[in-house]
A and B are shown apart, each in its own frame.
Chain A
Amino acid sequence: NAGVTQTPKFRILKIGQSMTLQCTQDMNHNYMYWYRQDPGMGLKLIYYSVGAGITDKGEVPNGYNVSRSTTEDFPLRLELAAPSQTSVYFCASSYSTSGYTFGSGTRLTVV
């Protein structure tokens, strides 16, 4: 039981490049989430999903896209990377009322 797995752990992007942050969970959780955390700050919700085929915006969705084709996977897409997207990205999953299980994060730098 691996929990929530995020890849890659680190990435450096040039301005304007695109990339997909991968997130997969093996707990059969219906809810999944993407957060970003800037240095010294709390986590901000980017997108969330209540089940396969359903996604919705969080607090800071601009510049990102998501999809949820399966229960297990919830990839986050950056189309045109900008320096403001330099951050640590966390994926999480949960049942409806349970605590969230977080992944170990992806540290992204845009230069």
Chain B
Amino acid sequence: DAKTTQPPSMDCAEGRAANLPCNHSTISGNEYVYWYRQIHSQGPQYIIHGLKNNETNEMASLIITEDRKSSTLILPHATLRDTAVYYCIVRVASPDYGGSQGNLIFGKGTKLSVKP
């Protein structure tokens, strides 16, 4: 089972920041937080990941709380093309560490709808 909890759906106005929350209260010290999104029926797309520090790339920012029990993915200026299902996943660094625990286990994610 997925080790994260996300709201099933969220709306966001075009041009505004989209803040997607994720709870991972049982996260272990060696587990990273990963975010992916899936647009319509396409393959999931990697967005960002982090261990304990906040991270930023050209797509998004990831804010992880100090106790690492929750995180927020921020899309700073949402567009209609950001409408997708967003998945928050925790995992160890790789399958080499803890065997199958290194694999991505997907939950149901948050369906983000960006509206004009």
Contacts and interface: CB of A to CB of B under 8 A. Distances in A.
Given A58-B103, A97-B32, 5 more contacts: A43-B104, A56-B99, A97-B93, A100-B104, A105-B42
A45 interface: yes
A56 B101 CA distance: 12
Given A100-B44, A103-B43, A44 B106 contact: yes
Interface residues of B, number: 26
A104 B114 CA distance: 23
Interface in B1-40: 2, 32, 34, 36
B32 A42 contact: no
Nearest to A44: B106
Interface string B85-106: 0010000011110011001111
B41 A101 contact: no
Nearest to B94: A96
B45 interface: yes
Contact of A45 (B34, B42, B105): B105
Interface of A: 4, 31, 33, 35, 41-45, 48, 50, 56, 58-59, 88, 90, 92, 96-105, 107
A96 B96 contact: yes
B42 A104 contact: yes
Contacts of A42: 2, 87, 106-109
Nearest to B32: A97
A93 to B, nearest CB: 11
B46 A105 contact: no
Nearest to A40: B108
